[in-house]
């Protein structure tokens, strides 16, 4: 009998507010240590928290985007533990009454099929500072710039069945928070962090196995590797007759392994209680509707519109709609060239290849949507062939010239003059009597040879359809 994996993800998303959750300190990334840590962030006596409205709004926005129940009355609690990068001795979080309740997220798997994954809840909490364990006179250095930065912790149901689904879920989440503009979702800078609860059980069993929580996963690729590794570790233990210990494990990307971080037995008693310094947060219908009105068109709706409006395939529409920036780029290209299918191909294949190679986001594309649109327009009106278009595209990468300027200066205009093409065809036929004989004897494969020769003679500029038709006609004669 085989094993199946059960995964639940806890994703911390840093909300893109200007100031902290409970204080007016800046949240800018990369500032000099402790220059954004005020008396409140340092937990000086007498300071009191005041909730940032924007953080609340962002949480509600997320809740609406995943069809979640919005907590009409949410309550903040203290989660108590001692660590030097948490000066108050407690983290303000939400335990029983989170701002975002049950919701769901549709994920798309590699084969194009979709699954709906339950979201248990999403609560607002504050981040801790950073501990730097390099040697500072044998001590630990503390930077409290990040202390008090607003986070939204999004908890999924344990419904993800394998590492690939976990990655698909994470990517969808990433796409939605970027669409909503509530976080930049930058995993390498820690603005999106993922903990995975992983357990295994005998296939078909309905009971959950003992889980281990894997922390410190900071890229999509590592999520997949860490889960695969951890599931295998647990299966090995169980098959050897061992037992899984509930614990927190750390993923080490360099060694591709997880290792035990701390035993949860004593440490994990957080003694939650309602935060007496904060009153319950009440959200009314009018507030929810106002936030709902701010929601942008989300990835699924956009994908469906792309299918309906531009006749794209579900797959292409999904790829383009997964990023708000790519979707906007694509629509600008379509507006200019008026050909959605070609635009989709150029954006998802040719342009994407360049972006991948140069490690760029589409916002940093060396070719603007306008320039690409103009290039595609020239394919469409037959000024150039698709093949020549690739040459122009390459040339555009290293210049700021428009497609028309490049076509003009490099003399790449397609030859559609039928006299010129006819002359070309005659020359090729006259120059290759042997192949002509073969073709006429029934060896039709040779046709490609003639096309090749003619194209070469025209330096790729002959209109392919015209050339094709004329060659066929002349070879028959």
Partner 1 sequence: MALEQTDVEKIAHLARLHVSTEEATEVAKRISSILELIDQMQGIDTENVAPMAHSFDAIQRLRPDVVTETDQREYLQKIAPSTQDGLYLVPKVIE
| Torsion sign, CA atoms 367, 372, 373, 375 | positive
Neighbours of 230 (CB within 10 A): 26
Sign of the alpha-carbon torsion through 331, 335, 336, 338: positive
95 binds partner 1 (CB under 8 A): no
Query: CA 187, CA 9: separation in Å to the nearest integer?
Result: 15
Rounded distance between C-alpha atoms, residue 119 and residue 67, angstroms: 10
- Residue 181 found at the interface with partner 1 (CB under 8 A): no
Stretch that binds partner 1, among 27-35, 204-212, 410-418, 455-463 (CB under 8 A): 27-35
Q: Is 427 a residue that touches partner 1 (CB under 8 A)? A: no
Q: What is the DSSP letter of 462?
A: B
Distances, alpha carbon 296 to alpha carbons 106, 180, 369, in Å: 17, 7, 21
Of residues 208 through 267, those in contact with partner 1 by CB under 8 A are 266
Per-residue binder mask for partner 1 (CB under 8 A), 113-132, x = binder: ------------------xx
Q: Does 13 bind partner 1 (CB under 8 A)?
A: no
Under the binding rule (CB under 8 A), the answer on residue 272 touching partner 1 is no
Task: Provide the minimum distance between the beta carbon of 407 and partner 1 in the complex, in angstroms, as a whole number.
Answer: 50
Tokens of 48: 């009191």
Binding of partner 1 at residue 51 (CB under 8 A)?
A: yes
Q: Kindly report the backbone phi and psi dihedral angles of residue 366, in degrees, each rounded to the nearest multiple of 5, phi listed first.
A: -65, -20
Map residues 53-82 to x or -, x wherever contact with partner 1 holds by CB under 8 A.
xxxx----------------x-x----x-x
Considering the rule CB under 8 A, would residue 290 count as an interface residue with partner 1?
no
Choose between 279 and 290: whose C-beta lies nearer to partner 1. 279
**Residue among 112, 114, 140, 295 that touches partner 1 (CB under 8 A):** 140
Region for residue 137 given its phi and psi (left: phi exceeds 0; alpha: psi -120 to 50; beta: otherwise)? left
**Given 161, 238, 278, 469, the residue binding partner 1 (CB under 8 A):** 278
Residue with smaller CB distance to partner 1, 117 or 283: 283
Per CB under 8 A, does 35 bind partner 1? yes
Among all chains, which residue has been given the structure tokens 């290792």?
A: 259
263 contacts: CB under 8 Å, gap ≥ 6: 245, 247
CB of 157 to partner 1, least distance (A): 24
Query: Considering the rule CB under 8 A, would residue 26 count as an interface residue with partner 1?
Result: yes
**Is residue 199 involved in binding partner 1 (CB under 8 A)?**
no
**Nearest alpha carbon to residue 124 among 104, 102, 149:** 149
Nearer to partner 1 by Cβ, of 269 and 427: the residue is 269
Tell me how far, at minimum, the Cβ of 132 lies from partner 1, in Å. 7
| Total residues in contact with partner 1, by rule CB under 8 A | 54
Q: Least distance to partner 1 from the beta carbon of 120, Å?
A: 20
Among 23, 197, 322, 343, binds partner 1 (CB under 8 A): 23
Report helix, strand or coil for 464: helix
Q: Alpha-carbon distance 297 to 338, whole Å?
A: 22
Helix (H) / strand (E) containing 373? helix 369-380
Whole-angstrom Cα distance, residue 208 to residue 194? 21
Can you tell me the distance from the alpha carbon of 124 to that of 17, in angstroms, rounded to the nearest whole number?
13
Separation between Cα atoms, residue 153 and residue 125, nearest integer Å: 7
The smaller minimum CB distance to partner 1, of residues 184 and 314, is found at: 184
Does 52 bind partner 1 (CB under 8 A)? Our answer is yes
Q: Answer for the pair 16, 151: CB distance below 8 angstroms, yes or no.
A: no
| Rg of the chain (C-alpha set) | 30
The nearest distance, CB 129 to partner 1, in angstroms, is 9
Q: Does 444 bind partner 1 (CB under 8 A)?
A: no
Residues that bind partner 1 (CB under 8 A): 17-19, 23-26, 32-40, 42, 50-56, 73, 75, 80, 82-84, 96-97, 131-133, 136-144, 266, 269, 271, 274, 276, 278-282
């Amino acid at each position: 009998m085989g094993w199946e994996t059960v995964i639940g993800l806890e994703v911390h998303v840093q909300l893109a507010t200007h100031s902290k959750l409970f204080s007016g300190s800046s949240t800018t990334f990369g500032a000099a240590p402790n220059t954004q840590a005020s008396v409140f962030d340092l937990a000086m006596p007498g300071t009191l928290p005041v909730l940032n409205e924007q953080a609340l709004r962002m949480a509600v926005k997320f809740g609406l985007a995943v069809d979640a129940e919005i907590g009409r009355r949410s309550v903040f609690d203290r989660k108590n533990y001692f660590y030097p990068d948490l000066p108050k001795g407690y983290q303000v979080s939400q335990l029983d009454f989170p701002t975002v309740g049950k919701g769901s997220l549709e994920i798309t798997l590699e084969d194009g099929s979709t699954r709906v994954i339950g979201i248990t809840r999403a609560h607002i909490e504050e981040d801790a500072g950073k501990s730097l364990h390099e040697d500072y006179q044998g001590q630990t250095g503390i930077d409290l710039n990040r202390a008090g930065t607003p986070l939204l912790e999004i908890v999924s149901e344990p419904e993800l069945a394998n590492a690939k689904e976990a990655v698909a879920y994470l990517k969808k989440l990433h796409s939605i928070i970027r669409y909503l503009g509530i976080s930049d979702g930058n995993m390498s800078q820690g603005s999106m962090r993922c903990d995975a609860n992983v357990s295994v059980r005998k296939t078909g069993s309905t009971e959950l196995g003992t889980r281990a929580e894997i922390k410190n996963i900071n890229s999509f690729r590592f999520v997949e590797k860490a889960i695969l590794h951890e599931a295998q570790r647990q299966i090995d233990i169980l098959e050897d007759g061992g037992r899984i210990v509930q614990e927190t494990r750390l993923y080490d990307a360099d060694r591709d392994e997880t290792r035990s971080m701390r035993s949860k037995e004593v440490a994990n008693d957080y003694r939650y209680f309602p935060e007496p310094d904060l009153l319950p947060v009440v959200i009314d219908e009018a507030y929810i509707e106002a936030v709902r009105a701010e929601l942008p068109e989300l990835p699924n709706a956009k994908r469906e519109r792309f299918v309906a409006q531009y006749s794209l395939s579900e797959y292409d529409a999904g790829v383009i709609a997964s990023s708000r920036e790519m979707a906007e780029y694509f629509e600008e290209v379509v507006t200019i060239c008026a050909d959605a299918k070609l635009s989709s191909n150029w954006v998802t294949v040719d342009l994407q290849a360049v972006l991948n190679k140069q490690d760029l986001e589409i916002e940093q594309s060396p070719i603007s949507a306008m320039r690409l649109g103009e290039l595609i327009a020239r394919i469409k009106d037959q000024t150039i062939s698709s093949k020549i278009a690739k040459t122009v595209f390459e040339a555009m990468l290293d210049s700021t010239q428009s497609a028309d300027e490049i076509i003009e200066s490099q003399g790449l205009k397609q030859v559609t003059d039928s006299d010129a093409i006819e002359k070309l065809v005659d020359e090729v036929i006259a120059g290759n009597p042997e192949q002509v004989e073969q073709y006429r004897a029934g060896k039709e494969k040779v046709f490609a040879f003639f096309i090749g020769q003619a194209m070469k003679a025209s330096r790729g500029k002959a209109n392919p359809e015209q050339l094709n038709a004329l060659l066929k006609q002349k070879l028959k004669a």
